[in-house]
Amino acid sequence: GPWVASPKLEEHLITASMTPAFRELVQRLEEPIGRSLKADTSRYGISRSTRLARKYPADESQLDEVAGWFGVKKPQVHIVETLPNMLGVMVDSPPLLVVGEPMYAQMTPAQKAFVFAWGCKLMRSGLVPLLSVAEDALPALWVSIIQQFEPSYFVSGVSVEATSQFAYALSRNVSKKVREEIFGLALECSSDPNISVPSLYTELMGYADHTALLASGSIVDAIKLHWMLHAGAQSPLTSGSQIMDVLSESPAMARLCEFIVTGPLAKCLAFVEGSR
């Protein structure tokens, strides 16, 4: 219930690289970063007809409930056919939560709670813009953000061309007033060794995954959902060997299982008798 949005949980969910300064900087820049990223919704098959209220109206009440836990406006959810295993958030106003329909049609109520909580956590965090670019482009976006305040900032191995493209778009959307207000915050982030630029995407996804697992309350459903994301909606999880295979190939499921095994909150989750 509402406890999944409690600030007390953050110490269990936030990694060392997601420093308070990092989160505050991105949150303060959420709007200008969002305006700098172009969301091509058509490529995902998003339209008025793909909205959850039209495709699965009975699930709207569950979405209302989960959004209420986090104290956020109910997100706009689209169920699309274009990408069967899609699960993502996209910059828009408000942000969009996009789910592949073949997978969604097979989800249990607990798995839908997982998906809704995953999106709501990200939307409440203010970090959605960082997940609206491809994983390999995120370091360039981060470098371009810092370069708005410290032009000489760079990270070895990050594309100069991609950084320049993001920096140009940002320069048109970050106001002088905002620059002055958060200049010190940006410099703190630029020199903070705890912020691991190459792993930002992984850290953010794990942050949302862990919250969603706690919200769904079911280890079994969470693992099966990640199996569907990894292997395809038409591939049921039927054996331990499948889990071992996907653990070796899917960092997301490996992180989720590690959190289950080592997390102090594991006792809050439901287990299925006899399951492994």
Structure tokens belonging to residue 244: 């071992």
pLDDT at residue 273 greater than cutoff 50: no
pLDDT at residue 268 greater than cutoff 70: no
Measured distance CA(204)–CA(92) in Å, rounded: 19
Please classify residue 101 by burial: count the beta carbons closer than 10 Å to its beta carbon, then call 0-12 exposed, 13-18 middle and 19+ buried.
buried
Give whole-number Cα distances, 212 to 102, 148, 216, 261, in Å: 20, 33, 6, 16
For residue range 166-200, what is the model confidence (pLDDT) as tens digits? 999 999 999 999 999 999 999 999 999 999 988 89
Measured distance CA(163)–CA(179) in Å, rounded: 19
Share of the chain above pLDDT 90, in %: 57
Structure tokens belonging to residue 171: 């320069």
DSSP state of 269: S
Measured distance CA(206)–CA(212) in Å, rounded: 10
What average pLDDT does this structure show over 63-74?
A: 94
Alpha helix segments (H runs only) across the chain? 10-13, 20-28, 30-36, 52-55, 60-70, 101-104, 109-125, 138-147, 160-171, 176-190, 200-216, 219-231, 240-249, 251-262
Q: What's residue 168's pLDDT?
A: 95
Which of the four pLDDT bands, split at 50, 70 and 90, describes residue 79? Answer: very high
